[in-house]
Amino acid sequence: MRIAVVLGFLFAGAYLVAVLEARLATGRLRLAAPGWAAMALLGRESVVPRQPDRLFFETAPALLLIAALLAAAVLPLAPGLFITNLATGALFVNAALAYVLVALLMAGWGPDGAYALIGGWRFLGQLIAYSMLIVMPITAVAMRAESLLTTDIVASQTGLWNILYQPLGFVLFFIAAMGVAFLPPFDLPSAEGELAGGVTSEYTGVRLAVFRLGRLVLVITLSAATVVFYLGGWLGPVLPPWAWSAVKILAVSATMLLIGHYLPRIREAHLLAWCWKLGIPLALLNIFIVGVMVLVWP
């Protein structure tokens, strides 16, 4: 029952993200649009390109969805409202998100298409850029909470949310989270303009529908991770805890989409340079600052 409620939340959130994405793309707010689009994709032909690596081609869309759902499975929406409460939750999020890379590499390699292949390898470079900015800020969060339990991490923010306690970590994590979800301006693997859709270019029909669903759930998952690690999870006055989680998660997703809407796509070489020459030194500095603060003023 509890699991069904969380999954319902996730898919409802993914639907709303799709509505927002369509609003930004078309300028019109139509609540039913993603539903119609999904049904249309279901009815369309799902063409398999000639000479594919069939195993990779078929695995990729499902694996993307599984990776996003597994990462979301350890994030609590309210006290007692989670799929699992693993003792290693904060680490498990990283482990599950690593499979996003595997899924996109498979989607790039599988169909034997030039654009898809370039998109897939590009995402490997993107992982090398964003990955450290996911794990290092989470370490600083775990230092304050003295636990990897995601519920403990939320509880540790009762006095002061982590966005104020470690703002540097929040900024780095937020940017890196947009990189994981390959949202603009970090949509290098699926770049519409230059790669004709990149990793998604060879997917049609129901396979594309599953791929897009996985991506939407991934956006919600990363928003939920941002909320749990930095925005105090379910904490907040008046409203019930689950409502606070829902509001915060949607607000973070909307912010991510809006930021991407107004920025040009970054070049891969620039992304790597910025992340390694500025991002990682800042992330290490963040660990050090939080380390001192935890001892002085917990």
| Residue 35 within binding range of other proteins, rule CB under 8 A | no
Degrees, nearest 5: CA angle 273-288-176: 40
Residue 104 backbone phi and psi in degrees, to 5:
-70, -35
Rounded to an integer, what distance in angstroms lies between the CA atom of residue 127 and that of residue 44? 33
| Residue 298 within binding range of other proteins, rule CB under 8 A | yes
What is the nearest approach in angstroms of other proteins to the Cβ of residue 278? 11
Of these, 19, 24, 33, 143, which contacts other proteins (CB under 8 A)?
Answer: 143
Of these, 97, 117, 199, 250, which contacts other proteins (CB under 8 A)?
Answer: 117
- 17-25, 61-69, 166-174, 225-233 -> range binding other proteins (CB under 8 A): 61-69
What is the nearest approach in angstroms of other proteins to the Cβ of residue 146? 5
Site for other proteins in 209-268 (CB under 8 A): 209-210, 268
| Residue 206 within binding range of other proteins, rule CB under 8 A | yes
Rounded to an integer, what distance in angstroms lies between the CA atom of residue 232 and that of residue 248? 9
Rounded to an integer, what distance in angstroms lies between the CA atom of residue 202 and that of residue 114? 10
| Residue 168 within binding range of other proteins, rule CB under 8 A | no
Q: Which residue has the tokens 């370039």?
A: 118
What is the nearest approach in angstroms of other proteins to the Cβ of residue 32? 19
Name the residue nearer to other proteins (CB basis): 90 or 178: 90
Site for other proteins in 183-202 (CB under 8 A): 196-197, 201-202
Rounded to an integer, what distance in angstroms lies between the CA atom of residue 221 and that of residue 282? 25
Cβ contacts of 242 within 8 Å, gap of 6 or more: 9, 77, 78, 81, 234
